[in-house]
A and B are shown apart, each in its own frame.
Chain A
Amino acid sequence: MNNISNERKLYLKKEKKNKITVFITQISILIFFIVIWEVAANKGWIDSFIMSQPSKIWETIANLSSNNLLEHIGVTVFETLVGFLVGTFLGVIVAIILWWSKFLSKVMEPYLVVLNSLPKIALGPVIIIWVGAGMPAIIVVAISISLVVTILEILNGFMNTDKEKIKMIRTFNATKLQTLVKVIIPANISTFINSLKVNIGLSLVGVISGEFLVSKAGLGYLIVYGGQVFKLDLVMASVLILAIVAAIMYQSVVILEKVILKNHK
């Protein structure tokens, strides 16, 4: 450690300085935005009834219990997690089935393409009628949004697995199950993780859309409710919390990724 050249020291210093500058700039933009917003609302440059203002949003968040915010956060997180887990699990299972049977995969191809491009939220009213208004409908909307994407992404990963590796294990007379377990699945761990990262976001989109359509609780419900009764502080506070929830969920997947990759070179 002691024999670092001066040139290297300068380089490291410069790198560190760059990093700090970027961070300070990022934070400054946020603070600047909040301050301008607050000042503009106080001075009457903008209508705080329509635009809300940071101090009021903060008050709403600080006053968690009176708004039952925690309960709403809990509902949204629960619905998202269930949608995410079920959507991902089903997606992987279907992808495995389609990889297993080339015939089935060919048959299903046009259906998957159409379903993938269809805005799933259009199915919302149908889902509500079928499943019933309430939490199950919201979870089904979340599943419907992440399912097809998962199937397509995982199947694509399976199909693009190194052909030479598959040929190599075939030379040992491996069964299809052995090929799946020993080559296809481990070779696609990064595909799984990418799929998880995409799905956590998509599930949240599905849950919020579902809550917009039909719900009595959840952040999506709060946003719609706040909008209808012109409680813009509540809407903004909900959006802010939603952003934080989304970031925490995404970061949890990133941590999971690190744990998995540590055990899987």
Chain B
Amino acid sequence: MSKEILTLKDVSKKYQAKNGEIEALKNITFSVNEGDFVSLIGPSGCGKSTVLSIIAGLEEKSGGKIMLDGEEISTISNKIGYMLQKDSLLEWRTIYKNVILGLEVTKQRTKENEDYVIDLLKKYNLYEFKDKYPTQLSGGMRQRVALIRTLAIKPKILLLDEAFSALDYQTRIMVTNDIYNILKKEGKTVLMVTHDISEAISMGDKIVVLSNRPAVVKAIHNIEFPNIEKNPVNCRNCPEFSKYFDTLWRELDVHA
């Protein structure tokens, strides 16, 4: 059994507003094993992204404990890579300057790390675009650049916050496939928040389902496609896919 890399224990979050207190998260407990791809889903507005923000140290939690690689964390850590909904590439920087942004900020711009970034660019067909600007790239390529920017700091775990939802449907399927393959090839541990059940099943090894606010962990499913080599495109044709989809749909209890 692989080791637990991220553990959330009874994590809670309360927001203070003028007209009272809002309880967003209640006793959230789950863990992510090394090398796993975990999807976090829940009804819209339930606080999925808040969970990621808290893990990333961008927001403070009101209670509970978060352990990363055996240590308790409460602030922003370089062991965590965060990918947002938009690629947020800086238009005034070249692709290369964009991917090394994290290294610059964290003061890790060493020859070794720069070589690692160059390797990643070469491996994922972006090297020839390294001196181009983001506006010269397609949506899918931009997402790949954003991923390499996150991978450049060699995080222990990657948090994907609705990272593909800004893309149109076709690009999205291709990009999820692309990014999934990169992450698996690099052996990365991932926690992804999505509102898209299909995306959660097609990418996740495990799915954590949150309830309506105040969000609690409603269910945890292990996702297995025994007869295929899994990737986000081919698993959509398996009979298990619709079975998982039905179960999750019922659990999310979606009402129009």
Residues of chain A touching chain B, judged by Cβ–Cβ distance below 8 Å, are 162, 164-165, 167-174, 178, 182-183, 186-187, 189, 264-265
For the complex formed, measure the closest distance between the CB of B73 and the CB atoms of chain A, giving whole angstroms: 12
CB-CB under 8 A for A172 and B101, given A164-B88, A183-B90: yes
For the complex formed, measure the closest distance between the CB of B169 and the CB atoms of chain A, giving whole angstroms: 21
CB-CB under 8 A for A170 and B76, given A164-B85, A165-B88, A265-B135: yes
Is chain B's binding surface mostly helix, strand, loop or mixed?
loop
* Assembly CA distance A182 to B135 (angstroms): 18
Chain A residues near B92 (CB, 8 Å)?
186-187, 189, 264-265
A164-B84, A172-B105, A264-B92 known; 11 new pairs, CB 8 Å cut-off, are A167-B58, A170-B58, A171-B81, A171-B84, A172-B76, A172-B78, A172-B106, A173-B57, A183-B90, A186-B92, A265-B92
Chain B residues near A264 (CB, 8 Å)?
92
For the complex formed, measure the closest distance between the CB of B74 and the CB atoms of chain A, giving whole angstroms: 13
Residue B72, interface by CB 8 Å? no
For the complex formed, measure the closest distance between the CB of A158 and the CB atoms of chain B, giving whole angstroms: 16
For the complex formed, measure the closest distance between the CB of B49 and the CB atoms of chain A, giving whole angstroms: 11
* Assembly CA distance A178 to B90 (angstroms): 14
Residue B145, interface by CB 8 Å? no
* Assembly CA distance A118 to B30 (angstroms): 59
A171 touches B58 (CB 8 A): yes
B58-114 residues at the A interface, CB under 8 angstroms: 58, 75-78, 80-82, 84-86, 88, 90-92, 101-102, 104-106
The interface centre, meaning the residue of A165, A264, A265 with most chain B CB atoms within 10 A of its CB, is A265
Residue B203, interface by CB 8 Å? no
Contact of A174 among B77, B90, B91, B105 (CB under 8 A): B105
For the complex formed, measure the closest distance between the CB of B110 and the CB atoms of chain A, giving whole angstroms: 16
* Assembly CA distance A169 to B58 (angstroms): 11
Q: Which residue of A lies closest to B75 (CB)?
A: A173
Residues of chain B touching chain A, judged by Cβ–Cβ distance below 8 Å, are 56-58, 75-78, 80-82, 84-86, 88, 90-92, 101-102, 104-106, 133, 135, 153
Chain B residues near A168 (CB, 8 Å)?
82, 84, 88
Chain A residues near B84 (CB, 8 Å)?
164, 167-168, 171
A171 touches B82 (CB 8 A): yes
Shortest Cβ-Cβ A-B pairs, 9 listed: A171-B82, A168-B88, A173-B76, A172-B105, A265-B133, A172-B102, A174-B105, A164-B86, A164-B88
Q: Which residue of A lies closest to B94 (CB)?
A: A265
Q: Which residue of B lies closest to A168 (CB)?
A: B88
Contact of A182 among B56, B91, B105 (CB under 8 A): B105
Residue contacts A-B, CB under 8 angstroms, 23 given: A162-B88, A164-B86, A167-B58, A168-B88, A169-B101, A170-B58, A171-B56, A172-B76, A172-B101, A172-B106, A172-B153, A173-B57, A173-B76, A173-B77, A178-B105, A182-B90, A182-B101, A186-B90, A187-B92, A264-B92, A265-B91, A265-B133, A265-B135
Q: Which residue of B lies closest to A178 (CB)?
A: B105
A182 touches B104 (CB 8 A): yes
* Assembly CA distance A264 to B81 (angstroms): 28
B105 touches A169 (CB 8 A): yes
* Assembly CA distance A261 to B126 (angstroms): 25
For the complex formed, measure the closest distance between the CB of A168 and the CB atoms of chain B, giving whole angstroms: 4
For the complex formed, measure the closest distance between the CB of B153 and the CB atoms of chain A, giving whole angstroms: 7
Chain A residues near B78 (CB, 8 Å)?
172-173
For the complex formed, measure the closest distance between the CB of A20 and the CB atoms of chain B, giving whole angstroms: 33
* Assembly CA distance A71 to B114 (angstroms): 58
Chain B residues near A171 (CB, 8 Å)?
56, 58, 76, 80-82, 84
Chain B residues near A173 (CB, 8 Å)?
57, 75-78, 105-106
Q: Which residue of B lies closest to A175 (CB)?
A: B105
Chain A residues near B88 (CB, 8 Å)?
162, 164-165, 167-168
* Assembly CA distance A183 to B105 (angstroms): 11
Chain A residues near B75 (CB, 8 Å)?
173
